[in-house]
Amino acid sequence: MSLRYIAQAALALAMMTLTAAGATAAERKTFDEKDFAAAQAQGKPILIDISATWCPTCQAQKPIIQKLSAEPQYENLTIFDVDFDTRKDVLRKFGAQVQSTLIVFKGDKETGRSVGATSESAIDGLMRKAL
């Protein structure tokens, strides 16, 4: 079995478990400039998740972010997914040079960023900076 398959299966299982439990999760969507600007204008906590399908670090981050985003303190968090391979315009906008980059905002202010973090505590600490 490939690492990608295992990560996808773990993510699917986590999502099914959360759905069955009736958990309220953060909103996750593909990056769109208008949606991002609206979330900033509303003062929302935001996580930019820059990843690539071929990146094992990115695939390790996904289930951790999914798990954490289901916690009550992150119910207002908006997660914007950015594809590293196809959204070079967005990478330039945020000054991101590599995949597995996570950037958090509180409204229109960047409050933290991380590259390559795969521990739950490190990602949770970063996400808390958006609250």
Per-residue tens of pLDDT for the chain, all 131 residues: 555 545 454 454 555 444 444 456 899 999 999 999 999 999 999 999 999 999 999 999 999 999 999 999 999 999 999 999 999 999 999 999 999 999 999 999 999 999 999 999 999 999 999 99
Active site residue 113: no
Q: Which of 46, 55, 104, 123 is catalytic?
A: 55
Letter string b/e over residues 91-107, b meaning 16 or more CB atoms within 10 A of that residue's CB: beebebeebbbbbbbbe
Contact 79, 36 (CB under 8 A): no
Task: Report the DSSP beta bridge partners of residue 112.
Answer: 104
Write down all domains in the chain, each with its CATH number in brackets. Answer: 3-128 (3.40.30.10)
pTM (predicted TM-score): 0.81
pLDDT score of 25: 83
pLDDT score of 24: 66
Q: How many angstroms separate the CA atoms of 45 and 88, rounded?
A: 23
Q: Which of 46, 58, 70, 117 is catalytic?
A: 58
Active site residue 58: yes
Q: How many angstroms separate the CA atoms of 74 and 115, rounded?
A: 21
pLDDT score of 22: 44
